[in-house]
Amino acid sequence: MIKRRNMLFAGTAAAAGLAGVGAAWWLRDRHEAPLAGNSSADPFWALEMETPQGEIFKISSLAGKPLLVNFWATWCPPCVEELPMLNRFHQEQQARGWRVLGLAVDQPSAVRTWLQKSPLDFPIVMAGLDGTDLSKRMGNLTGGLPFSVAFGASGDVLQRKSGQLSPEDLTNWAALS
């Protein structure tokens, strides 16, 4: 009787495992395509977002040049730690055509307050609380912050990184364009 029960449990576990794999495969095939793939015609470039001051910023205004997009939030310690490095990257690489865009996954008031204390030279737009979904559609599998995407001048994705950037990442990415 015990052997029979163990076999029943093993069979049930195997069936559940196969069902889970099948469901994951089914969901993967039906998951929305990434917003930023390898084409300058991707919907990302058509987005218009508000700045923390409420002005409209067109992502298309940055097309045609290499672009580093960084998802961040004021409540994310690694995010705010890497922002000064991203600002230096912007200052140093701007002459080579690079642009940096910060997408804040946060409340506008919190971003305005943070930027008053630590101003940045590159544009910041509000991805808001939907920013996590946007970052996932751009390849951020976990939805964690910070998340960065580097685009070439043609609009093709060069690199993506979940987690805090390093100076080596930026050096390597700058060499790709």
Average the pLDDT over 112-141 and give the result: 95
pTM higher than the cut 0.95: no
Q: How far apart are CA 113 and CA 155, in angstroms?
A: 32
The answer on pLDDT for 34 being more than 90 is no
In one-letter notation, the amino acid at residue 122 is F
Q: ∠ CA 87-92-94 to the nearest 5 degrees?
A: 90
Sorted by sequence, the CB contacts under 8 Å of residue 174 that are 6+ apart come out as: 66, 89, 93, 96, 98
Model confidence at 30, in pLDDT bands (50, 70, 90)? very low
Model confidence at 42, in pLDDT bands (50, 70, 90)? confident
Q: In this structure, are residues 49 and 80 in contact, taking their beta carbons and an 8 Å threshold? A: no
- Side by side, the strands of the sheet bearing 99-104 are 124-126, 99-104, 67-72, 147-151, 157-162
